[in-house]
Amino acid sequence: MKDYKHLINKKKVPAHVAIIMDGNGRWAKKKSLSRAEGHRCGAEAIEPLMDAAISLGIKAISLYAFSTENWRRPRMEVLGLWKLLDYFFTNKIDVIKSRGIRVRHSGLQERLPASSLHTILRAVEETKRNRTLELNFCVNYGGRQDILNAVNRHLESAKSGGPVTARDLEKGLFTAGMPDVDLLIRTGGEYRVSNFLLWQIAYSELIFMNVLWPDFKPRHLYRAVYEFQQRERRYGGL
């Protein structure tokens, strides 16, 4: 594969990259492994991704780890995902802290197992002063629900009956304080956004890659960022 890293203009790196980590199950099937093993190998792709993002100067990465629709999956697979989340933070928290990474959670806390919620909140608390990279885990997240929650938060706190502004809504989103997504990457060869960060990706550049998530390497991120830099972003203008 072409060495895209050395072609990247460090002055035009996307501030916020969002990734739909798709393909764990298909990767496992191709190798005659369990879906759980596919998810485990997919989790291992996150650490090199963090290092690659830091090397480029990316400020925020949002990972679609578990959607509000994923509850429809078989119960044992869902339980395995919670165990994997606990395993990931238990084994990676020291690395995360050593890199100066701040963990963030976007998503509903309802329905999350108590141990998994505790694991997430502990990682958020222990890294809240870090500033090198914001690593946003979207767990029990849905874009439509995010927008609905933001509107309802505003209505509950509003002192007047005036219209909701974009600024009002953004304050209530799970990603409040983060920049809008510049680049959305989806692995796995599918061409849809699957209810992910719908408000935040309004003017994102979208890149769909055929690589299955467990095979995602830093070189794939470099290629996506390079392609991002070749596009002209007009935001509706000329």
Percent of the chain exceeding pLDDT 90 equals 91
User: Chain centroid to CA 198: how far?
Assistant: 13
Residue 50 lies in a domain: yes
Query: Residue 137 phi/psi, 5° resolution?
Result: -90, 115
pLDDT in tens, 119-149: 999 999 999 999 999 999 999 999 999 999 9
Residue 235 lies in a domain: no
Residue type (1 letter), 4: Y
Residue 163 lies in a domain: no
Between 157 and 43, the higher pLDDT residue: 43
Residue 157 lies in a domain: no
Tokens of 142: 């849905």
pLDDT in tens, 46-97: 999 999 999 999 999 999 999 999 999 999 999 999 999 999 999 999 999 9
Residue 155 lies in a domain: no
Residue 166 lies in a domain: no
Q: What is the pLDDT of residue 160?
A: 61
pTM for this prediction: 0.96
Q: Is the pLDDT of residue 198 over 80?
A: yes
Q: Find the domain containing 201 and state its range.
A: 5-143+180-230
Residue 98 lies in a domain: yes
Query: Residue 234 phi/psi, 5° resolution?
Result: -110, -15
d(CA 201, CA 218): 22
Q: What is the pLDDT of residue 1?
A: 64
Q: What is the pLDDT of residue 238?
A: 64
Q: What is the pLDDT of residue 157?
A: 82
Q: What is the CATH number of the domain that holds 110?
A: 3.40.1180.10
Q: Is the pLDDT of residue 150 over 90?
A: yes
What pLDDT band is residue 235 in, cutting at 50, 70 and 90?
confident
Residue 174 lies in a domain: no
pLDDT in tens, 18-50: 999 999 999 999 999 999 999 999 999 999 999
Residues forming the active site: 22, 70
Total tally of structural domains belonging to the chain: 1
Q: What is the pLDDT of residue 228?
A: 98
Please check whether residue 131 is in contact with residue 104, taking contact to mean a CB–CB distance below 8 angstroms.
Answer: no
Q: Strand 183-186 vs strand 205-208: parallel, antiparallel, or unpaired?
A: parallel
